Structure formats: structure tokens, C-alpha cells
Structure 1
Amino acid sequence: MKHTIVGVDIAKNVMQIHWVDADSGEIVNKPIKRAAFLEYFSNRAPCLIGMESCGGSQHWARRLIEMGHQVKLMPAKFVKAFVTGNKNDAADARAIWMATQMPSKEVAVKTEAQQAVLALHRMRQQLVKFRTMQINSLRGLLTEYGEVMGTGRAALDRAIAGVLERLSGRLPAILIDTLREQWNGLEALDQQIAQIERRLHAWMKQDEASKAIAAIPGVGLLSATAAAATIGHAKSFRSGREFAAWLGLVPGQTGSGGKVQLLGISKRGDRYLRTLLIHGARSVIFHAKDAGAWLDQLKKRRPINVVVVALANKMARTIWAILAHQRPYQKGYESVRPAPAR
């Protein structure tokens, strides 16, 4: 059965919908209040509803799917190409309606549990950012008084006690006390980050997908839980190559006149997961005792950063294979492409 295509521009209070009646050709483009949004679709036959992947889209997608509708979440960058004329809610809803009909890679609709895990990752990432800002702020303030410390948390912890003691005779006590409080506040951030990691570890023990991909060299607690929650349903990707391309771990392209030039990695998709995989790949290259013949040969032919990205790409494809085929990780496993049917 062919579903009616509806474009929805979601917002906090007012949703804009756009669709075309198949029988009369009437163009419908109107706003709907948040309270009446689900009621509007509950009285309709199953539709294909397109939305931008933004704040609140996962919630609305889950609710609409429960009603029997199909939902297509799309990156905002993909929808932007279809906006014509002035930008407003009506134009955005029309652009989403047009983009829904174009072939594109959808953003996976995640369960509430998967979204909860990603929320823990985002909060941990924010706390790490705050901690780094605090460390750099302390180093910068103390540089103004002639005290230069090395980069990093360990160098700060080693030097700051002596620095504050030397400056206590020159600077007001109100500043020294505040600097010491800011330094002690780093420990509170450490505890919050550690607590989130313990909760992620407890969740990974109960999640079979996370435990399976954690066996891959270079995939640890953060990479395993983030990958399992981000990928959603592995079968939504046709292959491991498509998953790696979706993460931006493939070269970008530019060209004209039949000549195509390969650039650096495209950096599309989920930046957080891509960063974790690249850091994991770098850890394998520099610390693994037996990295494997494939990696050893590649290191002889390519620069180290190219090798890191290549290994991260391979790790992404391995993650997809484990989740899609539901098999444990096997070191040295070689996939064999089936012979074409005659």
C-alpha cells in the first residue's frame, strides 16, 4: 500500500505539516499545536512521515511508530538543500516533504534505553570538557604571576601546591583561597565522571551487543556502549562499508569532467563515535604487542595517520558485522564472498 508522505517541521510548541492530497491534489501546509499533534495523526491512515533529526525527533518518531506510521529521520544538512525562497516554518515543512521522497540514509530511531546510554555519554563528555577548561583556566591565571606549569592534569597536581605556597606571601588571601577551591573542585568532577563510567559498565554487562563488540581490539567501554546505542538496528545498513561511510571514515570526493580527486575523510555522521574509534585505533597501533600482519604491512606503505583511520574504518566494519550477523569476535577471521549463482 502506498502511504501518504507528510513532512513535519517539529518545534517546542508549534509543529508545521506539509502534504499533498493524492485524490484532489490539494496542498496542505498548516501549523498544529503540540498538544494536538499526536491526535492529528491518530485519526489518519498509516503515513510516511519525514522529520529532521533534531531535539525531540526521537521521541515523536517513537510515538508515531506506535500508531502504525512509518517515520524517516533525516540529517538537517540533507534537508537544507531543498529549502527554496525565504526560510520559515512553512518552507521548512515543504523542504522536509520533498527530502522525504529522495533516497537518503536515514537516522536510526532509537529506543529509550539506547537514548539513555547516549545521554550518559553526552553528560560525561560535557564534564570532561568542564574539567579541561578548569585546568587550562588555572594554568592561565597563574601564568599572569610568573608561575608556568606543564600541560596536563598530572603536571598541575604536582606543581600547584608549591605554586600557591610561594604566591601566598605576594597575593591576597581571597585569590589564593579561590584558586585552591578551584583546584579541589577538579576532584568532584573526577568523581562524577567515574560514576557515569561505572553506570555505563553496569549497563554493558547486561547488554549482549555491547559485550560482543567490546572484544574487538581498540574497542573499550566507551566505544562499545556508544556504538551499540548509536547504530540502532545494524540491518538498517546494507554493509559494514556503508556503516563506516556513515561515520565519515572514508575519503571525501571532489571532481569534474570525469576526474575524481580523493580528499581527507569526509567527517560526516556521528563525530563522537568516530573520535572514539580513531583513538582506539591509535591505541592499538602504538600499544598492541601483536597488531597483525595486515597492520604491519600497511604501516610500511602509508603515513601513520592514514593507518590510524584505516584501522578505525576496519573496526567500524567489524562492529557492524558482529551486530548484523550476531556472531562473536574472532581474531583472524576472513570473510568469504559467496560465489555468484550461475
Structure 2
Amino acid sequence: MMYVGLDYHKRYSVATKMGEDGEVLEQVRLLNDAPCLLEFLSGLPPDTKIALEATGSWYWFYELLEDRGTELHLAHPLRTRAIAEARIKTDRVDSRILAHLLRTDLLPAAYIPPRAVRDVRETLRYRASLISLRTQVKNKVHAILSKNGIRPRYKDLFGKGSLRQLRALELRPAYAEELRGYLRLAEALQRLIAEVDARVEEIAKDDPRAMLLTTIPGIGYYSALLITSEIGDIGRFPSARKLCSYAGLVPRVRSSGGRTHYGPITKQGSKYLRWIMVELSPHFVRGSSRMERLYRRVCLRHGKNTARVAVAREMLKVIYYMLRDERPFYED
């Protein structure tokens, strides 16, 4: 059997071929285009295993190998300490260490969601990017109004009443042209968001797990689909605490000399799952008397932000049992 460690970059990759005895057979530099990579793969034995670090551009290469049926292992970047702690860090050293960890069965594997889940994630993150762009446009419009000493009368800056007010403003030509452009951009973003919202609703209604989560007060189609797509297979988490750790919602722990200190949350793992749970925490507080009691108790001692995180963590535990047992939400 052959083991291949691949140090993957945007434009090129460095591959190390390693035998079962740990001997480095070959190290090559490859351009990241399909013909070059496929030519390299065609020269490998059928039972070859490949290790690839989970960087930002691993999707394309993984799907190239997935279609070919090659066995690929994705390495968790934070846990591949052998690379991070190496005194000499080069592309060749990194690829060799990946091959060695794979050969010795010490490679810290990262979760690879199925292609259907990856596609759902892309749709949800596309919507999040549109919302971010709309927020940027709102901030630009607020800046124009501030420069002209105008305070908007409406809370929703891009609502119907507010848009009528903005279009009726008499500003100097430079500001008027700028405002018209941003309003046209806002209208285009609104249409795109409406289109993707319809698509999200369609996907969520076909997903029993997402519909299960909509029984929780405050969770809609987008939130439910985002949570289920980020979690993936609930069976890969042996406990609710492991799921909370994956979301980065557990505190850092330092224990030495019989003393244990708990710090802020780790913020490691899925940033999207952590974000949506914290964003939904006010809805959880309003919709559940148990969460309201937890929020008030933690808020008195540690403040509002810590209380929101505590509610987010507790609700994620509830979601874990809902998905594991396939049951709807109910108040204890």
C-alpha cells in the first residue's frame, strides 16, 4: 500500500509518496489544474490512501478525487500538531509528515460532509454574504444621511416608507447620485435575498430534521437548515457536550496542581453554528421559561453576553437530544 501526503495550496501542491515501511519514495510539485493532478493520480496504485489538510480550497480537489473513487483523508489543521510544531516548516516537510501520520494511523481526521450537505451549506453561506452586503449598503446610506444632518424616521431603512422618504430627499448632486446608486443596489440585494429565501424554504421543507427544529420557538427555515447542515450526522457526536465543543461554546479549561480554572469559550469548531445559536438565544429566552430562568441567573452574576452564550449552549444540548431521538421540542 502507498500513502500520499499532499500539502495543498491555491496554485500548486507538493506530494510525498511513502511506502508501508515509511520510506519516502518520491516528492513532486504539482500544478493545481485537473489534467496535471489526474495524471499524477493515474500513476498511483489502486489502494493508495491520500492525506490532505483541511485548508480553504480543499473542496475542489476533494471532489476531483471523490468522483474518481480515491480514498482521501482530511486532516484537522489545528490538531495536526506535528506540522504546527515542526522546527523546519516547508511544503516538502509538511507533505511528508501528513503521509507519515496517515501511515501510522495518527492523522487527526476532520469531518467531511456529504456533497448534498456541502451544497446546502453553500446556499446558506451565499445568503449570509448577501445579508452582509445589504448591511454594508445600509451603513453607506446612514453615512450619507449623517453628512447631511438627516435622521431617518423609520427603523427599517429599506422598508417601503423609508424608501419613499429617501427618494424624496433633495441633496447636492454628489450626494444625490451616491444615494440613488446605493438604493438601486439595495433593491437588487433584496430581490436576490428573496430568491434564496424561497430556495432555503424549499430545501428545509424536504428535510425532516430541519422541520423538527422549527418546533423550537424562534427557529425558522433558515436557522433550522443552518443548524442541521453544520451538525451533519448527529451520530458522530457521542454526547451533547461534544456537540457544544464542536460549536466552540464550551469554556477553556486549565488544570494544574489540583486547581482548575475555567476561561472564556474556545471559539473553535463551526463558527456558523456558534453564531446562529448565540443569535437565536433571545428567542429561546422568550420561548422557554427554563431558558429564561437560566438567562436571568447567569446575567446577574456574569452579565448579558455570558448569559446569551449559556442559553445558546443549553439549547444546543436540547437540539442534540431532539435530533438523536427524533422528537419535537417540548417544554420540560
TM-score (norm 1): 0.79
| Secondary structure of residue in 2 paired with 1:76 | coil
Find 1:116's aligned residue among 113, 116, 119.
119
Mean alpha-carbon deviation: is it higher for 236-245 or for 307-316?
307-316
Structure 1's 165 and 211: CA in aligned 2 closer, same or farther, altered over 3 A?
Answer: closer
Q: Which residue of 2 aligns with 1:301?
A: 297
Question: Which deviates the most, 90-99 or 215-224?
Answer: 90-99
In 2: Cα distance, 1:91 partner to 1:313 partner = 39
RMSD of aligned residue pairs (Cα, Å): 3.2
| CA-CA distance at 1:246 after TM superposition | 0.7
Please state how far the C-alpha of 1:159 moved relative to its aligned partner. Answer: 6.0
**2: CA distance between counterparts of 1:165 and 1:226?**
39
Which residue is 2:150 aligned to?
A: 147
**Counterpart for residue 50 of structure 1:** 51
CA 1:258–1:39 in structure 2 vs 1: closer, same or farther (change >3 Å)?
A: farther
Deviations 1:89-139 (A, max 9, x none): 2133234345655464x4322222211211111211111111111111122
Question: 1:200, 1:54 → 2: CA distance?
Answer: 27
AA aligned opposite 1:221:
Y
Please give the residue correspondences for 1:171-210 in structure 2 after superposition, counting only pairs within 5 Å: 171-172=172-173, 174-210=174-210
| Structure 2 CA distance for aligned equivalents of residues 92 and 151 of structure 1 | 56
2 CA distance for matches of 1:139 and 1:160?
13
CA distance in 2, matches of 1:179, 1:24: 65
Task: Give deviations 1:276-298, integer Å, cap 9, x for gaps.
Answer: 1111122121x32xx14x33442
**Residues 282 and 32 of structure 1: CA distance in aligned 2, closer, same or farther (over 3 Å):** same
Distance 2:293 2:284 in 1: 15
Paired position in structure 2 for 1:339? none
Q: Counterpart of 2:79 in 1: which secondary structure?
A: helix
Q: Per the alignment, do residues 26 and 50 of structure 1 end up closer, same or farther by CA in structure 2, a change over 3 Å counting?
A: closer
Task: Give the Cα separation in 2 of the matches to 1:26 and 1:81.
Answer: 17
User: Do the aligned residues in 2 keep the contact of 1:164 with 1:176 (CA within 8 Å)?
Assistant: no
Offset, 1:256: 4.1
CA distance in 1, matches of 2:64, 2:167: 56
C-alpha distance in structure 2 between counterparts of 1:231 and 1:21, whole Å: 36
**What TM-score does the superposition give when structure 2 sets the normalisation length?**
0.81
Residue 75 of structure 2 aligns with which residue? 74
Q: Distance in 1 between matches of 2:115 and 2:220?
A: 23
Deviates more, 1:93-102 or 1:225-234: 93-102
Contact 2:121–2:226 under 8 Å retained in 1? yes
Contact 2:130 2:193 in 1 (8 A): yes
Q: Which digits, 9 at most, give the CA deviation of each residue in 1:261-319, with x for residues without a partner?
A: 1111111111122111111122121x32xx14x33442453114334323322332333
Unaligned 5+ runs, structure 2: none
Q: State the match for 2:29 in structure 1.
A: 31
Q: CA deviation at 1:245?
A: 0.4
User: Structure 1, residues 166-221: CA drift from partner, whole Å, max 9, x if none?
Assistant: 644xx23x531331332243122112112111101001111222222332334321
Confirm or deny: 8 A CA contact 1:135 1:156 kept in the other structure: no
Q: Secondary structure at the match of 2:215?
A: coil
CA distance in 1, matches of 2:65, 2:220: 35
Once residues 322 and 298 of structure 1 are traced to their aligned partners in structure 2, the CA distance between those partners, rounded to angstroms, is 20
Q: What aligned pairs does 1:107-256 form with structure 2 within 5 A after superposition?
A: 107-149=110-152, 153-154=156-157, 167-168=170-171, 171-172=172-173, 174-256=174-256
Matched positions, count? 322
Q: What is the one-letter code of the residue matched to 1:96? A: L
The runs of 5 or more residues in structure 1 that have no matched partner are 334-342
* 1:88 CA drift (Å): 3.5
Residues 9, 15 of structure 1: 8 Å contact kept: yes
Indicate conservation of the 8 Å contact 2:16/2:24, yes or no: no
Q: 1:242-265 CA deviation, whole Å, 9 max, x = no partner?
A: 111011011112354443311111
Paired amino acid for 1:329: P
Are residues 98 and 240 of structure 1, via their aligned partners in 2, closer, same or farther at CA, if it must alter by over 3 Å? farther
Once residues 83 and 15 of structure 2 are traced to their aligned partners in structure 1, the CA distance between those partners, rounded to angstroms, is 16
For the 8 Å contact 2:253–2:262, the answer to whether it is kept is: yes
Q: Deviations over 1:132-156 (max 9, x none)?
A: 1111112213322333447963388
Structure 2 CA distance for partners of 1:156 and 1:232, relative to 1, 3 Å: closer
The 8 Å contact of residues 218 and 277 in structure 1, kept in 2 or not, is answered as no
Q: Classify the secondary structure of the residue corresponding to 1:260.
A: strand
| Greater mean alpha carbon deviation, residues 66-75 or residues 217-226 | 66-75
